[in-house]
Amino acid sequence: MPTPLTYPGVYIEEIPSGVRTITGVSTSIAAFVGWAPKGPVDRAQRILSWEDYDRAYGGLHRQSLLSYGVTQFFANGGQDAYVVRCVATAAPDTPATSATLVLGDLTLTAKNPGAWAIQYGIAIKQRTDDPTRFRVQVVFVPTPTSAEVVVETFENLSMAPGDRRYVKSVLDTQSAIVNAAVTGAGVPGDTGLPSPTLGGGDDGTVLEPDNPNFEATLDLTSATAAIHLLDHIDLFNLLCIPGESTPAVLAPLQAYCHARRAFMIIDCASAATLGTLQAGPDGALTGDNSTNAAFYFPWVKAADPLQENRLRAYPPSGFVAGIYARTDSTRGVFKAPAGIDASVTGAVDLTQNLTDRENGTLNPLAIDCIRLFSVYGTVVWGARTLAGNDERGSEWKYIPVRRMALYIEESLYRGTKWVVFEPNDEPLWAQIRLNIGAFMHSLFRQGAFAGQTPRDAYFVKCDKETTTQDDVNRGIVNILVGFAPLKPAEFVVIKIQQIAGQIQT
């Protein structure tokens, strides 16, 4: 409302410009799903470095392809990821259980299941001036003969539920190691040295990829499946399940990625060979949602730090996800994550080295190969989605084209929420054209589109043609955005001609 004009003088009014900047979303947040011996099982934990994973999930574990995939992701340029830990929960598996310690009326339980917690002890000391209050220290004891290291200290605790330092409230919210349960009002006595340790924790059955017990945690039809922890993540762009290659399990996850505007990186089976892939990926993987996934072959051989750096074969998804992130950072999401710059850091060899002809039989089938060249080392040498079979002729044949579209979709989805409930008329349409046009033009200036001029590269349409009076009556505004994608130079053809000698006349 304008300021009431009540006295003679000058009045200042600020008029909104109508500019609402649309910020591009991140393009390389990875989500990893797999088994680990430690870590939260009730949420997808965000990690920003390998050190974060080491602290939360216990570092490398010989039987956890998840742990290797995450370290390969960060080693190849990844910077942001979520981890979903899957554990056995019921028979016939051995369920993972949490370690506990009972001290009178106080029961302490490890924050998450696994045998990792048996290396932690609890030291309790009552206050001499007020016996109703006590101190709890969580100590780390690597071996029975090791010195105790205090990792957490909580002072002035009480067993009274109404107290502001109620032991359950404090430990449940502030401790990274234990939760508390109180069964009575008795204050636990001093524990002394050595401090009693938590016991009874069990890692449970190791859930390995392609195993039905692990695949049950990926079943989207089950409300309790661990994969649903990703539902609570605001944004992720890349989904990796290191080592999982069962088509019937992966196909529904492709649909899940399609709904979340994410992209799935699929590993070939560990035993896959050129011969077994002659017919292309399984038909379950090449359906309508195959535009949001890519299939990589073969597995990568790299040093295993847990086995004196002897070579071991790993699924390619962790390496490739890191290369996606590195390419996005250095070149942009419109650049194919492949080529001589897409070197696989940490790779020493491959389970199968392909020739150009062998690569040529797989590439038209939408199988992205990893190659070993004498000059460039190990590189990703394919950039097709699973819809990229030559016979299909899909407009989403190439990974950078599809990921560019997903980037624009997600950015506009988040950047146009201000439009909701605005008056649906020409002034709104003009604002929409202005703001989306500015976003698209910034991408054009970065070289994200084909075309020499903005008119050739993109368009934004929102007017009486896209939004009819009937649409207005129903509360609908229609926005049409188009862009000319940059497609990778997959085949470089060099023509050489000999110049015939000319007869001077």
Residue pLDDT, tens place only, 130-144? 999 999 999 998 877
Q: Which residues pair with 114 in a beta bridge?
A: 98
SS3 146: coil
Tell me if 28 sits within 8 A of 325, measured CB to CB.
yes
Is 0.85 topped by the overall pTM? Answer: yes
Q: How many helices (H) and strands (E) does the chain have?
A: 11, 19
Residues 6+ apart with CB under 8 A from 180: 106, 107, 108, 109, 167, 168, 170, 171, 172
Res 132: pLDDT: 92
Of 182, 92, 94, 96, the residue nearest 136 (C-alpha): 182
Tell me if 345 sits within 8 A of 76, measured CB to CB.
yes
Tell me if 139 sits within 8 A of 150, measured CB to CB.
yes
The alpha-carbon radius of gyration of the chain (Å, integer) is 29
Q: How far apart are CA 396 and CA 291, in angstroms?
A: 6
Beta strands in 257-367 (DSSP E): 263-267, 293-297, 300-304, 310-314, 347-350
End-to-end CA gap in the chain: 88
User: Could you say which residues of the chain have pLDDT below 50?
Assistant: none
Estimate to the nearest angstrom the gap between the alpha carbon of 291 and the chain centroid: 18
Domains of the chain and CATH, by start: 30-89+206-400 (3.40.50.11780), 100-182 (2.60.40.4290), 441-505 (no CATH)
Res 3: pLDDT: 75
Written as six digits, the tokens of 154 are: 């909580």
Residues 6+ apart with CB under 8 A from 68: 60, 242, 314, 318
Q: How far apart are CA 249 and CA 34, in angstroms?
A: 14
Q: How far apart are CA 69 and CA 351, in angstroms?
A: 17
Written as six digits, the tokens of 275 are: 């011969």
CA angle, 169 as apex, 163 and 170 as ends, to 5°?
95
Res 51: pLDDT: 97
Q: Which residues pair with 485 in a beta bridge?
A: 449
- Sign of the torsion formed by the C-alpha atoms of 405, 410, 411 and 415: positive
Residues 6+ apart with CB under 8 A from 67: 34, 36, 53, 57, 58, 59, 60, 61
Residues 6+ apart with CB under 8 A from 244: 209, 210, 214, 215, 218, 250, 267
Pairing of strands 458-461, 480-483: antiparallel
> What ranges in 188-267 are assigned the alpha helix state H?
212-215, 247-259
